[in-house]
Structures are given as structure tokens and as C-alpha cells.
């Protein structure tokens, strides 16, 4: 009882925090009149004040505005990354888990081979191939995430396949596509959703890592990863430049992790 109440409370706090961060990012143009790319000469590394809530960076750009707009780009790239992971991962996992046999074995050995590459190294190698840019980063990190998602999907399908109503649907003559879509997918949705949350926080951290390393293409675009790289050099004299995006990044990932954790431990689920 008490545990359930704590989980509920945590979920509400996490959802509120995440909602707030998303809202702040979406409403960025309403919340600041300063262009995040506007470099003001003579106003470099100004400490926080009423005019610049979070101060300014090395080029005199407003950190408050860059953090708000940075949320759009960082979260946007992360969502795109998860999109790249989800569809092929889901299809591979469903096919492997449902059909079994040699299809399963062939798909899983391919996934194992991909899984053998440390994810960030695979993403880096793909960036070398695809070139710099936000879309390229989403593709590279997204592809690196596919094998993990396929494996989790497959495990969930294998468990669902043993349920009586799926046996019954097959006995009643339903085709594989119908069974997968109407019966298997709704059954495995909760754990897959929880894992999609895990993938989202993973995507944020890794795509921001590639941004931090300078593979984002447009270097003046506001982005939490890029801002952390900008702020690193000046941290001793102007800690505010890195602190704002760093705190935003950590809070976002923390909120997503809490939400994903509470999704997985919903009452009635083992």
C-alpha cells in the first residue's frame, strides 16, 4: 500500500517535471525575446542578471534563451532517434518472437552481432560514414539502439505467445498479421512502452554526447550538448554557461527514468 502510494507520488512528480520541461521548450519564443543565436560583442561571459537570467556565453549569447531553444533541438533529435530505433526494432522483435525457428535464429544472430559493438562506438562509426548533422546523429544513435529494442520486443512476444487467448485466436484461424496486431501488440504494450522510455533517456544522453563531441553540424544552433561543450572551456570563470544546460539535461533524463520505472511497476504486473 505504502509502496504503491510512493510510486504514484513519484510518477506524478516526474510527469509534472517532464511536462514542465517540454512546455518550456515548446513555448521558448513566448518566454524570451532574445534570439538564441544572437552574439553580442562586448557582452561575453556576463554573469546572471535581470537582463540575462542565466548570463551570457563566450560569444555573448543569452544562455537563458539558448537553454529554452536548446530543449527543442535536444528533445527533437532524441525523439527522432527513438523513432529510428522503434520501428525496425519492433518489427524485428515481433517477427523473431512470433515466427521462431530459423527466422528467429537468423534475426537474433544479426542483432547479437550489432549488439557486440559498444553502442556509442557504433554511433560514432556511423557518424563517420553519414557525416555531421542533427539528422545524421539521430540516424546513427537510433540504429545503434535497434538490437536492444528488438531483443526486448522478442522476449515480450515469447512470453505473450504462451497465453491462452493467443492460442485460441490461432486455433480460430486468425492470420499471423491479425494475431500480432490485435492480440500480441496490445498485450506487450506496457513493457515495451516502459522500455521506450528507457530508450528515450538513452537517446537523449547519447545524441547529446555526439553533439558535445561536435558532430552536430551547425555549431551555433542552441543545443544542450553543444552548450555543455561551449561551457566546459569557460567553466572556471563562467560556470553558468554549462550549468543551465547540464541541469536541464539531468532533470529531463531523471524525470523520464522515474516515469519509465513506474510504468514498469504498475500494480498487477510482475
Partner 1 sequence: MIAYALQRFGAAILVAWLAVSLAFGVLRWLPGDALDATMARAGASDAEIAARRLALGLDDPVWQQYALYLADVLRGDLGESLVSGQPVSEMIAQNLGPTAALAGGALLVAVALGVGLGVLSGVGRPAGVRYAAEGIASLALSTPVYWTGTLAIYLFTTVLDVLPGVGGRGVRYLILPVCVLGFHTAGSIARVTAGSIRAAAAMDFIRTARAKGLPESDVLDHILRVGLLPVTAVVALQLGFLLGGTVITEMIFARRGLGKVLLAAIDTRDYPVIQGLVALSAVTYSLINALADVLYGLIDPRVRMDR
119 binds partner 1 (CB under 8 A): yes
Check binding of 167 to partner 1 (CB under 8 A): no
24: which residues sit within 8 A by CB, 6+ positions away? 31, 68, 71
What cell was used for 203?
537517446
Q: Which span sits near partner 1 by CB under 8 A: 39-47, 60-68, 157-165, 225-233?
A: 225-233
Work out which of 149, 161, 225, 240 binds partner 1, going by CB under 8 A: 225
| 117 touches partner 1 by CB under 8 A | yes
Asked if 218 interacts with partner 1 (CB under 8 A), we say no
239 contacts partner 1 (rule: CB under 8 A): yes
Contact with partner 1 (CB under 8 A) among 33, 173, 177, 236:
236
Q: Binding residue for partner 1 (CB under 8 A) from 9, 112, 135, 193?
A: 112
Q: How far is the CB of 112 from partner 1 (least distance, A)?
A: 5
> Quick one: which of 54, 149, 195, 212 contacts partner 1 (CB under 8 A)?
212
Q: Which of 97, 142, 216, 231 binds partner 1 (CB under 8 A)?
A: 231
Q: What HEC string does the chain produce?
A: CHHHHHHHHHHHHHHHHHHHHHHHHHCHHHHCCCCCCCCCCCCCCCCCCCCCCCCECCCCCEHHHHHHHHHHHHHHHHHHHHHHHHHHHHHHHHHHHHHCHHHHHHHHHHHHHHHCCCHHHHHHHHHHHHCCCHHHHHHHHHHHHHHHHHHHHHHHHHHHHCCHHHHHHHHCCCCHHHHHHHHHHHHHHHHHHHHHHHHHHHHHHHHHHHHHCCCCCCCCCCCHHHHHHHHHHCCCCCCHHHHHHHHHHHHHHHHHHHHHHHHHCCCCCC
Residue 219 touches partner 1, criterion: CB under 8 A:
no
Which of 25-33, 162-170, 176-184, 204-212 is the region at the interface with partner 1 (rule: CB under 8 A)? 204-212
Rule CB under 8 A: say whether 266 interacts with partner 1.
no
**Under rule CB under 8 A, residue 17 binds partner 1:** no
Q: Which stretch in 134-142, 164-172, 182-190, 208-216 sits in contact with partner 1 by CB under 8 A?
A: 208-216
- Residues in the interface with partner 1 (CB under 8 A) total 42
Q: Is 195 in the site for partner 1 (CB under 8 A)?
A: no
Q: What is the DSSP letter of 237?
A: T
CB of 179 or CB of 228, closer to partner 1: 228
Among 244, 258, 259, 263, the residue binding partner 1 under the rule CB under 8 A is 258
**CA–CA distance, 171 with 159 (Å, rounded to integer):** 18
In sequence order, the β-bridge partners of residue 62 are 56
Residues in contact with 244: Cβ distance below 8 Å, sequence separation at least 6, in sequence order: 54, 63, 64, 67, 227
Question: Which stretches of the chain bind partner 1, using CB under 8 A?
Answer: 109-110, 112-114, 116-122, 124-129, 201, 205, 208-209, 212-213, 215, 225, 228-229, 231-232, 235-236, 239, 242, 246, 249-251, 253-254, 257-258
Amino acid at each position: 500500500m505504502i509502496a504503491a502510494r510512493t510510486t504514484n507520488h513519484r510518477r506524478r512528480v516526474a510527469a509534472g517535471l517532464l511536462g514542465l520541461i517540454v512546455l518550456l521548450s515548446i513555448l521558448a519564443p513566448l518566454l524570451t525575446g532574445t534570439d538564441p543565436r544572437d552574439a553580442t560583442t562586448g557582452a561575453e561571459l556576463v554573469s546572471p542578471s535581470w537582463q540575462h537570467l542565466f548570463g551570457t556565453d563566450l560569444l555573448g549569447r543569452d544562455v537563458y534563451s539558448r537553454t529554452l531553444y536548446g530543449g527543442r533541438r535536444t528533445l527533437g533529435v532524441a525523439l527522432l532517434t527513438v523513432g529510428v530505433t522503434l520501428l525496425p526494432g519492433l518489427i524485428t522483435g515481433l517477427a523473431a518472437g512470433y515466427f521462431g525457428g530459423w527466422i528467429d535464429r537468423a534475426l537474433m544472430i544479426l542483432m547479437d552481432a550489432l549488439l557486440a559493438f559498444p553502442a556509442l562506438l557504433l554511433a560514432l562509426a556511423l557518424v563517420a560514414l553519414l557525416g555531421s548533422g542533427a539528422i545524421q546523429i539521430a540516424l546513427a544513435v537510433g540504429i545503434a539502439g535497434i538490437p536492444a529494442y528488438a531483443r526486448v520486443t522478442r522476449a515480450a512476444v515469447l512470453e505473450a505467445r504462451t497465453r491462452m487467448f493467443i492460442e485460441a485466436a490461432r486455433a480460430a484461424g486468425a492470420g499471423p498479421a491479425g494475431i500480432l496486431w490485435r492480440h500480441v501488440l496490445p498485450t506487450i504494450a506496457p513493457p515495451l512502452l516502459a522500455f521506450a522510455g528507457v530508450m528515450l533517456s538513452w537517446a537523449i544522453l547519447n545524441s547529446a554526447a555526439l553533439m558535445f563531441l561536435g558532430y552536430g553540424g551547425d555549431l551555433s544552433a542552441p543545443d544542450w550538448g553543444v552548450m555543455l561543450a561551449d561551457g566546459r572551456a569557460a567553466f572556471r570563470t563562467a560556470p553558468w554557461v554549462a550549468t543551465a544546460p547540464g541541469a536541464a539535461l539531468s532533470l529531463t533524463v531523471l524525470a523520464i527514468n522515474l516515469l519509465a520505472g513506474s510504468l514498469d511497476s504498475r500494480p498487477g504486473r510482475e
